[in-house]
């Protein structure tokens, strides 16, 4: 009974925050009210909710929170998070777009970046905003819909090929426990191409921070989008990161999620393949230690025939940390000739770690090739022996094997500077 009461307090607190701030928030108030209502209906998921079975979100939202932070960061501090030297940099500071710190001049032709709070009059924005994420499907999508504080709207015009990667840095720096709701919209028009990197960092903070980030991506006909998420929020970060993707005909989308640190990370990756001849790649790597909780949920919705999707998630679990993978593949009635593959591999290094995995297929079409595989195990003793016989110490043999295990995912990164950064971070982790 006690838990239920607490949940209501937390839920009421969030709804009260919406009521008191709704007139100062940007955008369409009606959309926000509908989202608030949807959130109120769903409530905060507890362990009985199938989708949040393995994580205790209630606990994270307990206590007092503020919903914004006035703490300002120096350009030096922000500079420390810009690991891509050659990139268009967008800084989202405490859930709000910070233009001064961003590096957006000059922008290549065909690429436009707007503050999401000022984009409401834009026609493309209106056409796409809030159209893909379903507020009824998840309470945190609804919460973001109600309380979104800021972010950017990125538009790549028809046939524009943007070679330089766009790097969105979500920096959080707070002095009291805070709940942030940042929101981005990316629209890549016909025949256009874009590489986009989203990174999440917390600096100069020593209190619990909860970030409920939502990114919607529309990939139009023939467009090619390469998407990366680097999550490195250290011990105070609690992150719910939702990525909602809609793909149109013959488009190509690949996404790569690297979870390097953060006390709690939940990724909701929802892909809708809404036309024929689409290709999608979903890759993920999570390295957990301490008492970290990482939960990756992916949903690939094959709605039309002749599409391919390919999914690979790998994890190394240490100490008392726990990792969850839940991959869903839907193949709808019309989606004949679908090829959908999914693979989840884990290495458990400690006796106190936990791995939960649930690869799920729901198939309603008969002419399809679908498979999933998952394996969990330890480092292969034979391989360790092989390396030790060649003079490596046990520790370096293990490190080498873990690197090799991770590299299958790291190798899918197409931006060289990013790959080097991730490799360096992984090396640091295995020290």
Which residues of the chain form contacts with another protein (CB under 8 A)? 50, 333, 336, 346, 348-378
Query: Residue 178 CB, nearest distance to another protein (Å)?
Result: 33
Query: Residue 293 CB, nearest distance to another protein (Å)?
Result: 14
Name residues whose C-beta falls within 8 Å of residue 221's C-beta, 6 or more positions apart in sequence: 190, 191, 248, 249, 250, 251, 275
Which residues are registered as beta bridge partners of 162?
A: none
Cβ nearer to another protein, comparing 163 with 395: 395
Cβ nearer to another protein, comparing 257 with 326: 326
Query: Residue 115 CB, nearest distance to another protein (Å)?
Result: 43
Q: Are 356 and 324 in contact (CB under 8 A)?
A: yes
Cβ nearer to another protein, comparing 306 with 374: 374
Cβ nearer to another protein, comparing 176 with 380: 380
Query: Residue 344 CB, nearest distance to another protein (Å)?
Result: 9
Sign of the alpha-carbon torsion through 73, 81, 196, 279: negative
Query: Residue 371 CB, nearest distance to another protein (Å)?
Result: 4
Query: What is 293-310 written as a DSSP string?
Result: EEEEEEEEEE-SSS-EEE
Query: Residue 287 CB, nearest distance to another protein (Å)?
Result: 15
Cβ nearer to another protein, comparing 68 with 306: 306
Sign of the alpha-carbon torsion through 186, 173, 29, 145: positive
Query: Residue 42 CB, nearest distance to another protein (Å)?
Result: 17
The residue to which tokens 């009824």 are assigned? 136
Cβ nearer to another protein, comparing 379 with 392: 379
Q: Are 260 and 230 in contact (CB under 8 A)?
A: yes
Q: Are 154 and 187 in contact (CB under 8 A)?
A: yes
Give the Cα separation of 68 and 174 in Å (integer): 9
Q: Are 314 and 406 in contact (CB under 8 A)?
A: yes
Radius of gyration in angstroms for the set of CA atoms belonging to the chain, rounded to a whole number: 21
The candidate with the shortest Cα–Cα distance to 405, out of 331, 314, 329, is 314
The candidate with the shortest Cα–Cα distance to 131, out of 242, 243, 246, is 246
Query: Residue 76 CB, nearest distance to another protein (Å)?
Result: 42
DSSP state of 182: B
Query: Residue 378 CB, nearest distance to another protein (Å)?
Result: 6
Query: Residue 308 CB, nearest distance to another protein (Å)?
Result: 15
Give the Cα separation of 95 and 67 in Å (integer): 9
Torsion of CA 217, 269, 145, 211, to 10 degrees: -110
Which residues are registered as beta bridge partners of 298?
A: 269, 327
Cβ nearer to another protein, comparing 51 with 190: 51
Q: Are 362 and 328 in contact (CB under 8 A)?
A: yes
* 3 state DSSP class of 42: helix
Cβ nearer to another protein, comparing 59 with 361: 361
Q: Are 145 and 130 in contact (CB under 8 A)?
A: yes
Cβ nearer to another protein, comparing 211 with 308: 308
Name residues whose C-beta falls within 8 Å of residue 277's C-beta, 6 or more positions apart in sequence: 249, 250, 306, 307
For residue 402, the tally of other CB atoms under 10 A from its CB is: 19
Query: Residue 335 CB, nearest distance to another protein (Å)?
Result: 10
DSSP state of 385: H
Cβ nearer to another protein, comparing 333 with 414: 333
Cβ nearer to another protein, comparing 25 with 363: 363
């Amino acid at each position: 009974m006690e838990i239920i009461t607490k949940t209501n307090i937390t839920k009421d607190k969030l709804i009260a925050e919406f009521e008191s701030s709704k007139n100062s928030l940007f955008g369409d108030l009606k959309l926000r009210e509908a989202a608030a209502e949807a959130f109120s209906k769903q409530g905060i998921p507890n362990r009985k909710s199938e989708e949040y079975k393995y994580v205790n979100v209630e606990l994270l939202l307990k206590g007092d929170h503020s919903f914004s932070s006035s703490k300002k960061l120096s350009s030096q501090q922000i500079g420390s998070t810009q690991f891509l030297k050659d990139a268009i940099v967008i800084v989202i500071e405490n859930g709000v777009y910070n233009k001064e710190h961003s590096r957006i001049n000059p922008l290549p032709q065909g690429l436009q970046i707007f503050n999401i709070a000022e984009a409401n009059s834009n026609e493309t924005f209106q056409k796409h905003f809030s159209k893909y994420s379903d507020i009824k499907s998840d309470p945190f999508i609804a919460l973001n819909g109600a309380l979104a504080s800021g972010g950017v709207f990125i538009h790549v015009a028809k046939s524009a090929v943007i070679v330089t990667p766009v790097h969105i840095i979500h920096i959080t720096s707070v002095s009291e426990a805070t709940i942030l709701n940042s929101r981005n919209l990316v629209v890549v028009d016909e025949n256009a191409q874009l590489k986009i990197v989203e990174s999440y960092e917390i600096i100069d903070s020593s209190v619990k921070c909860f970030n409920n980030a939502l990114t919607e991506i529309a990939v139009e006909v023939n467009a090619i989008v390469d998407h990366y998420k680097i999550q490195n929020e250290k011990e105070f970060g609690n992150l719910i990161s939702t990525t909602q993707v809609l793909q149109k005909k013959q488009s190509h989308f690949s996404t790569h999620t690297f979870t390097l640190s953060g006390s709690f990370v939940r990724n909701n990756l929802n892909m809708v393949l809404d036309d024929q001849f689409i290709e999608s790649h979903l890759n993920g790597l999570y390295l957990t230690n301490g008492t970290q909780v990482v939960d990756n949920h992916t949903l690939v919705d094959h709605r039309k025939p002749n599409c391919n999707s390919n999914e690979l998630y790998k994890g190394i679990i240490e100490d008392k940390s726990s990792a969850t993978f839940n991959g869903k593949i839907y193949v709808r009635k019309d989606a004949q000739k679908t090829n959908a593959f999914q693979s989840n591999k884990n290495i458990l290094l400690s006796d106190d770690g936990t791995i939960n995995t649930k690869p799920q297929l729901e198939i309603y079409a008969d002419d399809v090739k679908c498979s999933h595989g998952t394996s969990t195990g330890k480092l292969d003793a034979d391989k360790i022996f092989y390396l030790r016989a060649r003079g490596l110490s046990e520790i370096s043999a293990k490190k080498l094997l873990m690197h090799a295990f991770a590299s299958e995912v790291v190798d899918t990164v197409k931006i060289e500077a990013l790959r080097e950064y991730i490799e360096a971070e992984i090396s640091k982790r295995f020290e």
